[in-house]
């Protein structure tokens, strides 16, 4: 094998490894844009801090877009680096923690989502540079962690129906963890897109919406469904 072909194969492998974190960053970028629009147009009464936050969010979304190198902006370039996504993720989590979310239907509950996705993208990108782990498995493991947290919150609710949901959710998560780490050879099940889709949908509809009263809730189902998308792309 020639030196040129080896270099080409390495470049292809590197690009593929970066594809999964970039997809997470792309989803986060779209959500950041939506949140920034909310700060500009859906805030009452007028608060200068909201407009400043909207401008900052737009700047972060544009910076993430630059890392994709989809458009040539001349000297205005930002390289794709895991630590850059890590910084953006931390900033977004701090904004969600310290400032009241904008009153936009369906967006208020998930103000932590873009920060969480960027943090996960940074971690996955860093890990995949060291070890060739499957990105969808890493993301599914994070989603499983959030789901376990939400199930315990449902146990604390004292509602019989929610407790049953939590038990069912924990059973599904245990099954998912078995499939992720391949602890048991299940003949009819494996870590595939349709398994992630079913588990993600159940968590998204039965578990995540009912967990309330504690910080950073409601993200288990969303993260599992995004893991389904990654697995569908064979990431």
pTM equals: 0.87
In the chain, what is the straight-line distance between the N-terminal and C-terminal CA atoms, in Å? 27
51, containing H or E segment: helix 48-67
Do 13 and 108 have their domain in common? Answer: yes
| CA-to-CA dists, residue 50 to 54, 56, 231, angstroms | 6, 10, 37
pLDDT mean for each 10 residues of the chain (235 residues): 42 61 95 84 68 90 91 84 95 86 57 93 93 92 96 92 94 94 80 93 92 87 95 90
Task: Output the pLDDT for position 42.
Answer: 65
Q: Do 53 and 128 lie in a common domain?
A: yes
- What's residue 111's pLDDT? 83
In whole angstroms, give the CA distance from residue 115 to residue 204. Answer: 19
Q: Please identify which residue in the block is written with the tokens 């588990």.
A: 199
Q: Which residue range forms the structural domain that includes residue 2?
A: 1-133
Q: Are residues 142 and 106 in the same domain?
A: no
Please say whether the beta carbons of 199 and 172 come within 8 A.
yes
Residue whose pair of structure tokens reads 């540079």 in the numeric block: 129
Tell whether 155 and 103 lie within a shared domain: no
pLDDT score at 43 = 58
- Domain end residue (candidates: 78, 99, 133): 133
pLDDT of residue 73: 79
Distance CA 210, CA 157 (A): 10
pLDDT at 75: 82
Where among 77, 100, 133 does a domain terminate?
133
129 and 145 fall within a common domain: no
Last residue of a domain, one of 106, 133, 160: 133
Name the residue among 92, 114, 109, 125 with its Cα closest to residue 30.
114
User: SS3 for 105?
Assistant: coil
């Amino acid at each position: 094998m020639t030196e040129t072909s080896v270099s080409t194969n390495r470049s292809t492998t590197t690009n593929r490894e970066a594809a999964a974190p970039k997809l997470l960053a792309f989803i986060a970028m779209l959500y950041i844009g939506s949140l920034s629009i909310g700060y500009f147009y859906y805030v009452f009464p007028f608060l200068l801090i909201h407009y400043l936050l909207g401008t900052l969010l737009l700047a972060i979304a544009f910076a993430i877009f630059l890392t994709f190198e989809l458009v040539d902006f001349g000297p205005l370039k930002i390289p794709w680096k895991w630590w850059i996504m890590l910084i953006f993720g931390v900033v977004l989590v701090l904004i969600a923690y310290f400032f009241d979310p904008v009153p936009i239907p369906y967006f208020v509950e998930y103000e932590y989502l873009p920060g969480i996705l960027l943090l996960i993208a940074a971690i996955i990108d860093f890990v995949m540079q060291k070890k060739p782990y499957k990105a969808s498995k890493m993301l599914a493991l994070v989603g499983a962690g959030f789901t376990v947290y939400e199930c315990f919150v449902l146990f604390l609710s004292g509602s019989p129906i929610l407790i049953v949901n939590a038990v069912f959710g924990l059973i599904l998560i245990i099954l998912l963890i078995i499939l992720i780490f391949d602890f048991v050879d299940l003949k009819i099940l494996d870590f595939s897109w349709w398994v992630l889709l079913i588990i993600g949908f159940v968590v998204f509809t039965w578990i995540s919406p009912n967990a309330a009263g504690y910080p950073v809730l409601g993200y288990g189902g969303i993260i599992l469904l995004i893991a389904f998308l990654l697995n569908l792309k064979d990431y």
